[in-house]
A and B are shown apart, each in its own frame.
Chain A
Amino acid sequence: MSRKIVDRTEMPKQSPEARRTNFSEVALGLDPELARREAERCIQCKTRPCTTGCPVEVDIPEFVALIAEGKYDEAAAKIKEKNSLPAICGRVCPQESQCESLCTLGRKYEPVAIGALERFAADWASKRAVEKREACAGDVDSDLQCGCEQKVCELDSRGCAPTSDSAASAARVAVIGTGPAGLTCAADLALKGYKVDMFESLHDTGGVLRYGIPEFRLPKSIVDEEVEYVRSLGVRIFTNVVVGLTLDLREMLESGQYQAAFIATGAGLPYFLGIPGENLNGVYSANEFLTRVNLMKAYMFPQYDTPVNIGSKVAVVGAGNVAMDSARTSLRLGAEEVKIVYRRSRAEMPARLEEIENAEEEGVEMMLLANPVRIISDGCGKVSGMECIRMELGEPDASGRRRPVPVEGSEFILDVDTVIVAVGQGPNPLLTERTKGLELNRKGNIEVRDECGATSIPGVWAGGDIVTGAATVISAMGAGKRAARGIDEWIRSKF
C-alpha cells in the first residue's frame, strides 16, 4: 500500500480550565474539513472488522466512505438504517473497546476515529432535520409540551417513510422505558410498520440519557432531537406512566390492547455501601445527585426549583463512568476538591479511559486502593469526614480482577463534607415484582430465553440494563434492536 497515513484527527475540546466551570459540552465535534480528512484515513479494507465490533451492526466503512466523498446526509442516512440514535452513540459509545479496537488501520497506526465521524454525520443531519421541521406545518411545540399526544410528522430524517404491511400495521407493541434500549426497539418496530406506544415513569423521556449522563457529555438537546426522530416515525410516548403501578403489564396484553411488549426499565436502583453514616446529610447516591442535576436541572437553581447541595470537599466512591460524571459535575457545581475513592488500582477502573483523562485534566484526584469504612458526622447530622482503609491487591477474583484486601491498621480519615456513592445500580423492582409470571434471576434481573430477549411470558421481551445489570448505552441499544427482530418474527408467526 502506497497511501500515506496521516495522523488521527483529534476532536477539539473546551480547555480544562474553561470547562470545569460550565455545563456546556466538553468535546466540540469535527467540522466538515476535519471529518473528511479523518474519513479519508479509512483504507476501506475488505475484511471490515469494525462492523463486527458494533452491537447495532452499523455499516461503518460505507458511512465513512460517504463522509470522505462529502455526502454527509447520505452518511447519516446510512448510519440510521441500523442505528436510530447516532448522535448519542457518537458521544457516549466506548468505541475504543468496540469498533475502533478492531480497525485494521489500528494494527499499525491509530484506528479511524469512527465515533467522532458518527457524531459528525448525526449532528449534520440533525441540524438539517431541525431546519426541515421548522418548515413543517405541524405544531411541534404544543405536542412536545403535552408529551403524550400522537404526533406523526411526515418527515423522517433518513428521507424515507416507514414501511408498512398488514401483519405489522395491525399490531400494537408497548415499549416500557424510554431509555436507549426502548428508543431503539420502538424505532426499529415503527420502521417495520408497527404501531408503538412507549411508557415512561418520569416526566421526561430518555431514561439514563436524560437523568444520568450530564449535559457536558451529552447535551439534552441531542436527546430531544433523537427522541423527536423516534416520534416522527409515529411512535406515541406517554410520560408519567409507571407500568407496574399506573398500568398492569399483563392486563395491557390480555385486554388485547397490545400484542407484544418490550421491557426496558433499566438499572434504576442505587446500591449503597452499607457502612455506618450513610444516611447523613451530604451523602448522595450517584443516581440522586445526577438526577437532581441532569433531569431536574439543579445546576440552574433557583431558576429551576430543585436544589442540590455541594460541599467544598467531595469524595466520589467508585470508578466507573457514573463516578466520573459525578466527580466532574461536583467540580462544575463549585466544589473545591474532588476525589475519586476506589478500592482497586488504576488498571481496574471500569470507566472509559477518555472519561478518566477528562476528569483528571479538570482536576479530579484519584485516591486508589482505598475503601470507605464509615462516614463521620459533624454532630448535627451532616458529613464531616470519611474513614477509609488502605487496600492492596491479592489473588484474582471471580471477575478476573485482583481482589482488593484491606491493609490492617491502615485506617485514615479523609476530610470531606460530601460523599457521592457510585458503586453501581441494580434492577428496579417496581415492574418486575408486580408482573406475575415474569422470571427473574437471583439479583432481580429479568431472565431471558434467547438472544432476542424473550422472557417467560409469551409476547413479552426484555433488554438493556434490566436484563444485564448496569452496562453501556450501546449494549442496551443492541438488545433493543434484537428484541424488535424477535417481536417482529413472533407477531408474523402468530397473527
Chain B
Amino acid sequence: MFKIVEKCTLAPGVHQYEVEAPLVAKSARPGNFVVVRTSETGERIPLTIAGHNRETGTITLVVQEVGKSTMEMGMLEVGDYFKDVAGPLGQATRIEKVGTVVAVAGGIGVAPVLPQIRAHKAIGNHVISIVGARTRDLLVLRDEVEKFSDEVIWATDDGSLGYHGFVSGALEELIGSGQKIDEVIAIGPVRMMQAVADVTRKHNIPTTVSLNAIMVDGTGMCGCCRVTVDGEVKFSCVDGPEFDGHKVDFDELVSRQGFFRDKEQIARERFEADRGGCKCHAK
C-alpha cells in the first residue's frame, strides 16, 4: 500500500499527488513511469513520474480524470492509499548537453515534462518550454515550468493566454523567428506529438516523443503496448516510452489506443451512475 501524503487539484479533474514509494523514489530517473492500481478490482494504469524526492521517499504523480480508473484515483485523498505502485519502469530520458532544448507539452503532458526540463537545465542546456492547453485555466503547474525554463511560451486553443493556437504552431513560429534549436521533446496527446514531429521534421531537428500506449504489466511481458518505430515493432514499456518522433507510426498508435473504447465507456458510465451522475464538469 502506498500512502498519499499530499494532494492538490491543479484544474478541474486534474490532480497532483505526492505518494510514499521510497524504493521507486530512490531509483527513479526522468522519463520513467510507474504502474498504479487503486483497488483489488482495478486496472494497472501507467503514469509517468512527474517528480521524485529521495529524502522524503515520495514520488509525484499527476492524473487527469478520463475514465473509470482515473476518476477513482481522483476520489483518493491525503491519507488514502494506492493499492499498488510498481516502478520505476521504462527507459530513462537521455539527457545530453546539446545547446538549446525546446520542451513542448500539451495538456497534462506538462507534468512528465517537468523532470526532463529540470535535468536539461541542470546539465547546462538552454531550455525553452512551450506549454499549451485548451484554455488558460487548464494550464497547470505554471510556476514549476517557469522555474525550470529559461524561456516559456504559453499557448491556448482559445487565445485566453499567450499564443492563440496549438503548441505546434507556437513551435513553428519560434523556429521561424530564427531560434536555433538542437533538440525537441514533446509530451502530450498523440496528435499533438505528431504535429510537433511534423514541424521539426521539416527543419531536421531531433525530436523525442513519449508514447502512452495501452499497457497491462508494463514490464515487457504482454506486448500490448507495441508500436511501430522506423518499421520495427517496439514495446513502449521497455524499449520506450520515448522514441524518435520522426519514426513513430502515430496513426497506428491512435488506432490501438481506441481498441477498448466501448468497454471503457461502459466502465465509466457504470461508475458515474454509482456515484450519482457525471461530476467531471461540475463547477
Contact = CB atoms under 8 A, between A and B. Distances in A.
Interface of A: 145-146, 201-203, 211, 239-242, 245-248, 268-270, 272, 278-279, 281-282, 284-285, 287-288, 291-292, 296-297, 301-307, 309, 380-381, 428-430
Interface stretch (B155-163, B165-173, B194-202, B218-226): B218-226
A367 B228 CA distance: 30
Contacts of B89: 242, 245
- Chain A to chain B: the 8 pairs with minimum beta-carbon distance, closest first: A307-B263, A381-B255, A288-B222, A268-B221, A240-B86, A203-B84, A281-B259, A285-B223
Nearest to A428: B220
A202 B85 CA distance: 10
Given A296-B43, A307-B264, A240 B220 contact: no
Contacts of B27: 245-248
B233 interface: yes
26 contacts: A146-B1, A201-B217, A203-B86, A241-B23, A245-B27, A245-B87, A245-B89, A246-B23, A248-B27, A269-B221, A278-B233, A279-B256, A281-B256, A284-B224, A288-B222, A288-B223, A296-B216, A301-B263, A302-B266, A305-B41, A305-B267, A306-B216, A307-B267, A428-B219, A428-B221, A430-B219
B252 A279 contact: yes
Given A246-B23, A279-B252, A291-B216, A309 B263 contact: yes
A247 B224 CA distance: 25
B223 A272 contact: yes
Contacts of A291: 216-217, 221-222
Given A203-B37, A279-B233, A291-B217, A246 B87 contact: yes
B46 to A, nearest CB: 13
Given A296-B216, A307-B263, A242 B87 contact: yes
Q: Which of A211, A272, A291 has the most CB of B within 10 A?
A: A291
Contacts of B226: 272, 279
B126 interface: no
Given A279-B256, A287-B223, A305 B216 contact: no
A291 B37 CA distance: 15
A314 to B, nearest CB: 16
Contacts of B111: none
A305 B252 contact: no
B43 A306 contact: yes
B41 A304 contact: yes
B217 A202 contact: yes
A297 B41 contact: yes
Given A246-B27, A305-B42, A428-B221, A239 B84 contact: yes
A205 B165 CA distance: 49
Contact of B260 (A268, A270, A307): A307
Nearest to A148: B1
Given A272-B233, A428-B220, A429-B238, 13 more contacts: A202-B86, A239-B84, A245-B87, A245-B89, A248-B27, A287-B221, A287-B223, A301-B263, A305-B41, A309-B260, A428-B221, A429-B220, A430-B220
A430 B238 contact: yes
Interface in B228-258: 228, 233, 238, 252, 255-256, 258
A203 B44 contact: yes
Contact of A201 (B43, B86, B222): B86
B140 interface: no
Given A203-B37, A381-B252, A430-B238, A270 B266 contact: no
A269 B228 CA distance: 17
Nearest to B216: A291
B142 interface: no
Contacts of B120: none
B221 A245 contact: no
Contacts of B41: 297, 303-305
B277 to A, nearest CB: 18
A252 to B, nearest CB: 12
Contact of B44 (A241, A248, A278, A296): A296
A17 B124 CA distance: 68
A381 B42 CA distance: 28
Contacts of A245: 27, 87-89
A244 to B, nearest CB: 9
Interface in B115-142: none
Contacts of A304: 41
Nearest to A305: B43
A187 B27 CA distance: 30
A211 B217 CA distance: 10
A288 B224 contact: yes
Nearest to A297: B41
Most buried by B among A246, A284, A287: A246
Nearest to B40: A145
Interface in B20-76: 23-24, 27, 37, 41-44, 68-69
Nearest to A270: B223
Nearest to A202: B217
B94 interface: no
Nearest to B253: A279
Contacts of A303: 41
Contacts of B97: none
Contacts of A285: 222-224
Contacts of A307: 260, 263-264, 267
A376 B42 CA distance: 33
Nearest to B37: A203
Contacts of A270: 221-223
